Amino acid sequence: MSAAPPRWGKQPGSGPPPAGTPPSGPARRPPLWRSWKWWIFLGGLLVANILIANFAPGQGGTHRVTIPYSTFKAQVTSDNVVGVTGTAESIDGHAKKPVSAPGSSDSSVDFHTERPAFAGGPNGDNLESILEEHHVQVSANPPSTSTFLLLLESFGPTLLFAGLFLLIIRRSAGAGAGGVFGIGKSQARLYDPERPRTTFADVAGIEEAKQELEEVVDFLREPQKYQRLGGTIPKGVLLVGAPGTGKTLLARAVAGEAGVAFFSISASEFVEMIVGVGAARVRDLFTKARAAAPAIVFIDELDAIGRSRASGMRLGGTDEQEQTLNQILTEMDGFDSREGVIVLAATNRADVLDAALLRPGRFDRRVLVQPPDRAGRAAILRIHTREVPLAEDVDLDGVAAQTTGLVGAELRNLVNEAALLAARLGHEAVTRSDFSQALEKNILGAARHIVLTPKDRERTAYHESGHALLALLIPETDPVRKVSIVPRGMALGVTVQSPVDDRQNYPETYLRARITVALGGRAAEQVVYGVVTTGAENDLRQVTQIAHQMVARFGMSERVGPLNFGVDDEGTRPFGGPRPYSEATAEVIDAEVRGIVDGCFDQACGLLTEHRWRLDELTRALVAEDSIDEEEILRVVGMRRDADGEVQIIATSPPVRAATG
């Protein structure tokens, strides 16, 4: 289906421009620095400048030899020199017969020489009279310099700088504001409709969202069908989801599937605008979209302007945001979805949006874009490896299994990272090990280059082994994928656990096990060295958080009871409000948290003491290998995973070292 082309010449006729906005007629052109002519002009200027600097007359152009001053004087006295030009010490001249420096075969009738300072002055060689005597023509200005070149030479650099300066100003003023010289100048670009090539085939792992948007696509393809039946088509659809889940991608895919014009703007661009501009832009955007119908208007990052006006959190909420928001609301009320324009918007947080936006007739439909599950991640990996040659040993399902929690954008990065690594290592195709290294880097941060003393390495190895061993010994914990004492980011070592499934619900035993495992590092240090170090800070933060939530949020403590005190994930009140419970309750909560943690720590120490030889073996292996994966860990500690994935103990005593050789 084809749409009317956007009408550039025509002005949006809806209402007078708000105060402070210059008439935008002639300003509709794209900004200067976006035009290719401007770049050619700049480039030309630069080239001219270089040419002039290097080949300006007086220095070159003709072949000129440099000769010693003494040779020069000899030539003058032998009447070979016709004329000279020069400044204080530098002399260019023209001779009858070619001259050359002694010992040099390079000769020319044009020459250059430097006159030593001592040759001048009252006791000098009196060059002037010698020249006169031999009828040499003397002039002070370089001959044959064209006025144009001279002008260019003197003004060229200035012009160049002026040009660069302009460029910088325009850039820093932002594409959004169109530069300090014309508010709204870059609108033409902003509201240029696109026709995205993206389709639903490029989107994976968010099937529900895709299904919900099918209807929108269908409507945009065949509006008549829906109009005939009088069905209600949503005007506004809000895509809600964490960053990188593919909201922007999805919006483009809807346009691509339906083959309609796509007008997009990011609401964050409005935030820094001068008052009035945002509203004018919105009006213009909608006018253009309606003219191009069927079309999609996509407002990305809606929360940037759509934050609840009631909420006190709206720091620095400006008039501009208010006006822009109002204009969006007005526009949305002002058209009928039967016109064939549908507004899509994306936000990371629906909870902060102004209620007015969510009223019926506006963004009344919400589509949740959720992080992909395992199958979804595999599908996303397949999409992004379509153009990447993969080695036979690559198992994308395996990669998906190890990437719980990663969203589409992160998975794309992972593929990219692996491909770069493969290229650097000169591989023909991306291999399994490229993937696992990329993943390691992705999850753990790039390896840090610090050198630990052998003592610190051992201590770190015990710490990490403590985490890992407990995770193996306690049922209901997430499997250990890898243990490493390669320092990365802020951590000296790391134990990687990844859940088998994406859990939605956590039983109390699981939470307790998590606490125990998190305390495992500290417990190992306690058991082995009798003292603890600061290395466990991160662990303790995690421990405190989980324990506090168990008590104050999930009602898992008998003394406190099944109450939820409205604490957030960090275990604190959002916005620092007063605690919704008494001092006495606070004390009970603290005591209960303490009780849970103490219990878990005792359990950790007990288990590690009981399985001390496993701890020692694992530590030994870690110190030797730096990092070891699941299979190796299990082997070293004398355990294995049975068919159901449960860990079982197979060895009850340490291997006899001499025998194993």
Among 212, 257, 440, 464, the active-site one is 464
Cβ contact 209:254 at 8 Å: no
Cβ contact 468:495 at 8 Å: yes
Cα–Cα nearest to 130, from 149, 111, 143, 115: 115
Residue nearest to Mg ion (CB): 248
State which residue, 213 or 291, has the beta carbon closest to Mg ion.
213
User: Alpha helix (H) ranges present in 173-276?
Assistant: 174-177, 187-190, 207-221, 223-229, 247-258, 268-271
For residue 250, the one-letter residue type is L
The one among 212, 284, 301, 539 contacting Zn ion by CB under 5 A: 539
Task: Look at residue 483 and give the partner it binds from ligand ADP, Mg ion, Zn ion, none, a contact being a CB closer than 5 to 8 Å depending on partner kind.
Answer: none
Structure tokens at 23: 């008439």
Query: Helix, strand, or coil here: 181?
Result: coil
Task: Look at residue 539 and give the partner it binds from ligand ADP, Mg ion, Zn ion, none, a contact being a CB closer than 5 to 8 Å depending on partner kind.
Answer: Zn ion
The one among 113, 187, 245, 248 contacting Mg ion by CB under 5 A: 248
Task: Look at residue 303 and give the partner it binds from ligand ADP, Zn ion, Mg ion, none, a contact being a CB closer than 5 to 8 Å depending on partner kind.
Answer: none
State which residue, 380 or 511, has the beta carbon closest to ligand ADP.
380
Structure tokens at 2: 């084809």
State which residue, 373 or 626, has the beta carbon closest to ligand ADP.
373
Closest separation in Å from C-beta 467 to Zn ion? 6
Task: Look at residue 383 and give the partner it binds from ligand ADP, Mg ion, Zn ion, none, a contact being a CB closer than 5 to 8 Å depending on partner kind.
Answer: ligand ADP
User: Does residue 245 interact with Mg ion by CB under 5 A?
Assistant: no
Closest separation in Å from C-beta 201 to ligand ADP? 10
Closest separation in Å from C-beta 317 to ligand ADP? 23
Using CB under 5 A, which residues numbered 597 to 626 contact Zn ion?
none
State which residue, 487 or 521, has the beta carbon closest to Zn ion.
521
Closest separation in Å from C-beta 450 to Zn ion? 17
DSSP lists the bridge partners of residue 300 as 266
Cβ contact 236:347 at 8 Å: no
Structure tokens at 253: 């895919």
440 catalytically annotated: no
User: Alpha helix (H) ranges present in 119-245?
Assistant: 127-133, 147-172, 174-177, 187-190, 207-221, 223-229
User: Does residue 434 interact with Zn ion by CB under 5 A?
Assistant: no
Please state whether beta strands 90-100 and 81-86 pair in parallel, antiparallel, or not at all (unpaired). Answer: antiparallel
Closest separation in Å from C-beta 300 to ligand ADP? 7
For residue 511, the number of C-alpha atoms closer than 13 Å in the C-beta half-sphere is 22
Closest separation in Å from C-beta 249 to ligand ADP? 3
Q: Which residue ranges make up the site for ligand ADP (CB under 6 A)?
A: 203-206, 241, 243-249, 346, 380, 383, 408-409, 412
User: Does residue 521 interact with Zn ion by CB under 5 A?
Assistant: yes
Task: Give CA torsion, residues 463, 465, 470, 471, to 10 deg.
Answer: 110
Residue with tokens 């020319």: 108
Angle at CA 12, nearest 5°, toward 6 and 18? 145
Catalog residues that contact Mg ion under the rule CB under 5 A. Answer: 248
Active site amino acids: 464
Catalog residues that contact Zn ion under the rule CB under 5 A. Answer: 521, 539
